[in-house]
Chains A and B, each alone.
Chain A
Amino acid sequence: MFLIILFPVKIGFCAFEASPLSSVNIGSGQIHINFNHQLLNCFIDPGSLAGLKTFGIELASAHPFQISGITQETAVLGIPVKDWGFAAGYNSLGNKLYRETTFSLMVGKKFFGQMAIGTSLSYYELHIVNYGSAGTIGLNASLSYNILSNWILVTSFRNINAPRIGSSGEKLPQVVYTGFSAKVNKNVKIQGAWEQDMEFQGAIKFGIMSNFLNHLTVSAGYVSYPAQICAGLQLTLKNLSINYAVSVYQNIGRMSSQLGIGIRIHH
């Protein structure tokens, strides 16, 4: 009973509801748009791999809801091949008794010079101690294009194939994300999005990202449901980046945090 109340990342929601995001994106209102070119965002926006120019690896560790024992670990490896971008990712959320694990293969490419399309294939595995394991496959896709020179519109779909998991056939979340990112000036980007889970109430998300200082990127944002105030920062030193984000859940008075590190290798 204790576990049922505490595990869902969104209150009352189902398994595999949480998708990995970079710290800057979490800070910018949990926005799915990969406006900051981080590999961690490719789980939801695989189309953004179309712009991948360097090899890279990103790792993150999160501590959801400040609940003792629950952790989330994520790792992504990105590889550019000609004008294609490929990535392989791993994400794991849970504690000693319950764990959700996702393995993903992602690919993105640009078409017609302006339109990026990406898709990812994920294997979801759920493990509960003394109950066993179950797995299923999900298909995600994203589409993005410039609507004006500094504005980009991104639409992502999670679990298009309506996967179900376990003997009870629990439906995994199907989510549509629609949003934009606009470069206001050289140092500032703003983002806005609507996230619609097919089973639950939709959420408005918006945020701002700035890199006024060299090597330092900061972001702040808001999510309407469940209500969250978010902030993130990233320190970039040559090919290495270190980042941190927090999101405060207003209704339950708790906080989630994430610490990440990334390495890019130019070839």
Chain B
Amino acid sequence: MAGCPLNWALVFAYIISGSQLHAQSEYDLSLILDQDGEDHDLEEDISLLQDLSLDKLASESQLLRRLETLSFLSQQDIEHLSEIEDFSMAHRMVKKDEISDRLRVVLNIILRRDHTTRKQQLRINQYQSFNRDMRYKYKIHYVYPNLDAGMLLERDAGETDVFDHRSFFVTYEKNSVDLFLGDYQIASGYGLLSWSAFPLRKGFESVTSLSRIGKGIRRYSSTHESWGYRGAGVRWTTSFGILQAALNSRHQDGHLDSTGLAIINVSGLHTSARSILEKKKLTERSAIVQWGFDKKYATIFATHTVRHWLYNKSSTELEQGSSIAANVRSGNRSVFGEVAVGFNSKTGCLIGVEWKTKVLHYIFAVRKYSPGFRGIRMNPVAEFHGRTLNETGIFQGFRLRQKRNRLIIYGDMFTRKLPAHTNSNVSSGNEFGLRWEWRKQDRYFKVELKQGISWLEIKAIYPGEYGVGLTRLRQLRLISRMPIFNGQLVKMQVIWQTRDNNEYGNGINLRFSWRNDFVTVALDWVSTKINSSNVRIYFWDVNLPGELITKLYANSGHSIGFKVNYSNRGQFSTGLRIRTQWKDLKLNGKPIISGALYTEVAF
């Protein structure tokens, strides 16, 4: 009976036809947000969104205001959000065609919030990921009226301390004053002085996201171990503008080099002898003050920061940096930018214009970062990232939107002068991308073409000799997402990538997911054919709630992922994900098995 194929077919037919699928038992945001696997890490945003979606105590306006700190929303999304005062307005907003799909997703998640009569709320998440060793992560989130607090305890695989990484945050909001204790983050202007842990990546999303201005302090659960500030901060909204001030004192892994520059190990891994030796050896002390002006027609922020390091009981000189950032809007046009004087008196600037209508969105931005420019937590849009910046670049792009079709084209040019002691004069390049997208509600089809060319002008050894080292990377991508029945979703992604015509990496990813009120199941298959590790491919892993993990493929092979998650209406949730990976197309050799176990309980 049990083994009869007809019975199994009937069971399957029942599953795909009989489920009532209204509630979202969990959010696989990589799928919902349609985020590119190569895009910057959104774990902090996912953590915030998860906390907000389960926060039953905050007022509607508080929740909507907190949504504005999500880094993946565009400037236009923020402007739409600022128009919403309560949930009834939000319900009307999600029906409007002019808002972005991301904002619609985020609002829908928040609008599903349950109400409670409780006075406080506690949620505990436990993650245990296994690969060669076990990684532990514990997240605790506590909500009380006007108070939001969290704690993160983590041990990466191979680390010898049970809570190698510990952090906490407390935010308190009352009337016009917001207080921040513990870890916090400052996204200032366009990231020339201080930004989130990952820069905005140049790409299709930049066309709408590049003009987004950072408005200062927000809570930080330190998903990136070394990025957050630690101490206390305050935001005070007055009739003279928004005043923000913060003090930071925290240990960092690393050392000072011979020039007094702090060399920080940002990986957060303490497994090698060197990383253990350098653990928390540096102490960073800093202060940051900001004055801001945020109205419908303009947002302006002026920032000043000072910092010094303590290392082996000696202190470095005080570093100072300042910037002014603005986004001035008039009708459907805006001018935006930031001008900064960095720590060593080097300058950096990013200036752009934007024009947006219901059909067309155009953006043009110029950036120039002097060689050696650096800020306290700088992370602006750039091609070359490092301890210091050095480049000149132009980005422009447009998005055409017509009924179900969208066309996005962007281009970026960049160049930088290399130091005299290297064997090259200049490193330059350009990047171009074209995307056509057809979308109807939850289903869409996309075709993307990208090309990146970079070259190095090699110094002449003999008179008349001149050399250029050229690298060309091309990528074609097809992505399709299709709901097949209520609650079932199929997503397919195919990537063809070449580098200098002789290195290639091709991959296909097929994902099936099914969901009902309580259970989510996902099955994922990836096959790759890659002849060089220079041509790597990224696909999303099967993610448990609160995770947003991409998987990098640098070899030919196959990989199968499976996830199951059970959620008991927000009180208890548990899930398991497993991935088996063969680094051989013929499935030879021992597969690598990795996975994670997750539980969440709310009181």
Chain A contact residues, CB within 8 Å of chain B? 111-115, 143, 145, 147-148, 153, 155, 157-160, 162, 171, 174-176, 178, 194, 196, 198-199, 202
Contact = CB atoms under 8 A, between A and B. Distances in A.
Nearest to B568: A148
B50 interface: no
Contact of B161 (A111, A174, A178): A174
Contact of A162 (B134, B161, B572, B574): B161
A155 B601 CA distance: 13
B136 A176 contact: yes
A202 B155 CA distance: 14
Given A147-B572, A155-B126, A198 B603 contact: no
A222 B555 CA distance: 39
Interface string B569-585: 00010100000000000
B162 A178 contact: no
Contacts of A198: 155, 159-162
Interface in B143-176: 155, 159-163
Nearest to B158: A198
B593 interface: no
A148 B571 CA distance: 10
A147 B602 CA distance: 10
B160 A178 contact: no
Nearest to A113: B603
A147 B601 contact: yes
Contact of B603 (A115, A162, A171, A196): A115
A162 B166 CA distance: 14
B345 interface: no
Contacts of B124: 115, 143, 145
Contacts of A157: 162-163
B47 interface: no
Contacts of B572: 147-148
B603 A112 contact: yes
Contacts of A178: 126, 128
A145 B601 CA distance: 8
Contacts of A155: 126, 138
B360 interface: no
Contacts of A153: 599, 601
For chain B, the bracket of interface size reads: 10 to 19
A112 B599 contact: no
Contacts of B163: 157, 160
Q: Is the interface of B mostly helix, strand, loop or mixed?
A: strand
Nearest to A114: B603
A114 B603 CA distance: 8
A145 B600 CA distance: 11
A35 B597 CA distance: 22
12 contacts: A111-B603, A112-B603, A115-B603, A143-B124, A145-B603, A147-B574, A153-B601, A160-B163, A171-B160, A174-B162, A198-B155, A198-B161
Nearest to A178: B128
A36 to B, nearest CB: 23
Interface in B23-75: none
A31 to B, nearest CB: 17
Contacts of A162: 161-162
Contacts of A174: 160-162
B122 interface: yes
A153 B162 CA distance: 19
A9 to B, nearest CB: 20
Contacts of B155: 176, 198
A148 B126 CA distance: 16
Given A143-B124, A198-B155, A160 B162 contact: yes
A251 B155 CA distance: 30
Contacts of B603: 111-115, 145
Q: What are the 9 closest A-B residue pairs judged by CB atoms, nearest first?
A: A112-B603, A174-B162, A198-B160, A196-B134, A147-B572, A145-B601, A198-B162, A162-B161, A202-B134
Nearest to B601: A145
Nearest to A201: B133
A199 B601 contact: no
A120 to B, nearest CB: 15
A260 B126 CA distance: 35
B149 to A, nearest CB: 15
Contacts of B574: 147
B575 to A, nearest CB: 12
A147 B122 CA distance: 15
Contacts of B122: 111-112, 115
A250 to B, nearest CB: 23
B158 to A, nearest CB: 9
Given A112-B603, A147-B572, A199 B160 contact: yes
Contacts of A175: 162
Contacts of B601: 115, 145, 147, 153
A248 to B, nearest CB: 27
A196 B136 CA distance: 10
A113 B122 CA distance: 12
Contacts of A159: 162
